[in-house]
Amino acid sequence: MKGLLMKNCIYSLLFVLVIVSCKNKTTQRSENDTAKKSVKKSNISYQNPLFSQYVDYLKSQDIKVAASNTNAIKKFVELFKGKDARTCDTAFLIYNKFYKKMTESLEDVNEKDSIDLDVFYTYKNGPKNIPPNVIDYVKNLRDNGFDILEEEGSVYVTQDWDFVAKYYYDLVSPSMKEFLQEINIESKQLYLEDGSITIAADTLVDRAAWWEQFETKHANFIWKDEVLATKKEYLNVLLRGSDNTEIFYDRQLNEYFKKAYLYLEKKYPGTETYKLAKPVYELLIQGKKTEADNVLEQYDKRGLLLN
C-alpha cells in the first residue's frame, strides 16, 4: 500500500512512558483557523523552537537501538506536554518520521545479526522451541514500540500501532486520533498480500469510502497528503483490482467486484467513489473492458488514482 500500511508500499507512516494529555483547546473551528496559517501541503514549519529542539534531540539518538524510541517518547512528553493539539500534531509528524526510520534501521540490524525471526511462525510447539536470543530480541522490540510481522513469506520489523494508541491518543488532536485509529485497524488486516486482495469486498468498499469521508470532514488536516494518497490507492484497487485479484476475468466482471459494486451502490450512492466507479463498472458488466480502460485512463490524467 502506497499510503500508510504496507511495508513494500508505505506506509505506514506513523508513543511516552507516562500518559499525559495535551490541552484539548481545539474545536473544529480553531483547528481549521490554525491550519489556514500553516504551510501548504502540510509541510512542517520549525518556527516554534521546540520543534527544532526535538529534531536535534532525535538526531542524537542511535536508530539501531530499540530503546532510542522510548527516549524519543520521553523527550516528546518533556517538550510538548500541555501544548495545544496542533503543536502536538506537528511534533507527532516529526516523531513518526524518526519512528519509521528506526523501524527500517532495526530491520537492517536484524538481517546483519542473523536473528531468525521466522521461528515465530515456523515453530508450532510454543516458546520452548524458540532460541533464547530470538525471544530476548523480540521482547526488546515490543517493549520499545515495535513488533514483527509476516507478509508474503517474509518476517520483518514493523511499527506497533497499539503502542501508538496507548501513548499518543491523549496527546494529539481529535482528527489525528481518528486517523491513527483507522491506521491501527487497517494495519491488523492488510488489504493485499502476494498480489491478492485479502479483505472482503464490502470491507474494501468501506475503506475507500472512509478515506474519502475523512478527507472531506477534515479538509485542513495536517497530514492531508497522506490521506489523499491512501484514498486514491483504495479507489485504484476498487476500479482496477490487483495482480492476482483481477477485476475482469474470463471476459466478465469478477464476482468479488460484483459484490463490491452492489454494496457500494447500496451503501454509498452519494459518494465520489460511487460516482467514479459507476461508469467503469457499468462498462465491465457489459463486457466492454477496452472502454472501461479508456475511462480509467482519463481518471489517471486527472490524477484521481494512485497506481
Q: pLDDT, tens digit, for every residue of 36-90?
A: 333 334 445 567 899 999 999 999 999 999 999 999 999 998 999 889 999 999 9
Query: What's the structural domain count of the chain?
Result: 2
Domain boundary among 146, 163, 190: 190
What average pLDDT does the structure give for the chain? 83
Q: What is the DSSP letter of 283?
A: H
**What are the tens digits of pLDDT across the range 208-226?**
999 999 999 999 999 999 9
For position 10, what pLDDT does the model report?
37
Q: How confident is the model at residue 26 (pLDDT cuts 50, 70, 90)?
A: very low
251 three-class SS: coil
Domain of 107 in residue numbering reads as: 28-190
| Domain co-membership, 161 together with 220 | no
For position 33, what pLDDT does the model report?
37
Indicate the range of 99-103, 166-170, 182-186, 269-273 predicted with least confidence. Answer: 166-170
| Domain co-membership, 221 together with 185 | no
Assess if residue 306 is contained within a domain. Answer: no
What are the residues whose beta carbons fall under 8 Å from the beta carbon of 174, sequence distance 6 or more? 24, 26, 85
| Domain co-membership, 173 together with 245 | no
Assess if residue 12 is contained within a domain. Answer: no
Is 16's pLDDT higher than 80? no
| Domain co-membership, 173 together with 79 | yes
Decide which of 48 and 177 is more confident.
177
| Domain co-membership, 130 together with 276 | no
Domain boundary among 149, 168, 190: 190
For position 126, what pLDDT does the model report?
63
| Domain co-membership, 74 together with 133 | yes
| Domain co-membership, 275 together with 166 | no
Is 25's pLDDT higher than 90? no
| Domain co-membership, 60 together with 178 | yes
Q: What is the pTM of this model?
A: 0.81
Domain boundary among 190, 209, 231: 190
Report the percentage of the chain scoring pLDDT > 70: 79
Assess if residue 109 is contained within a domain. Answer: yes
Decide which of 34 and 246 is more confident.
246
Once rounded to an integer, what is the mean pLDDT over residues 199-206?
Answer: 98
Is 20's pLDDT higher than 50? no
Assess if residue 178 is contained within a domain. Answer: yes
**What are the tens digits of pLDDT across the range 263-282?**
999 999 999 999 999 999 99
Assess if residue 19 is contained within a domain. Answer: no
Assess if residue 297 is contained within a domain. Answer: yes
Q: Residues 139, 141, 143, 147: is their CA dihedral positive or negative? A: negative
Assess if residue 3 is contained within a domain. Answer: no
| Domain co-membership, 185 together with 208 | no
Is 9's pLDDT higher than 50? no
Per-residue buried b or exposed e for 166-194, using 16+ beta carbons within 10 Å of the residue's own CB: ebbbebbbebbbbbbebbbebbeebbbbe
| Domain co-membership, 81 together with 108 | yes
For residue 130, the surrounding DSSP H or E stretch is none
Assess if residue 11 is contained within a domain. Answer: no
For position 164, what pLDDT does the model report?
87
Nearest to 56 by CA among 46, 65, 66: 46
| Domain co-membership, 204 together with 239 | yes
| Domain co-membership, 78 together with 225 | no
Decide which of 270 and 136 is more confident.
270
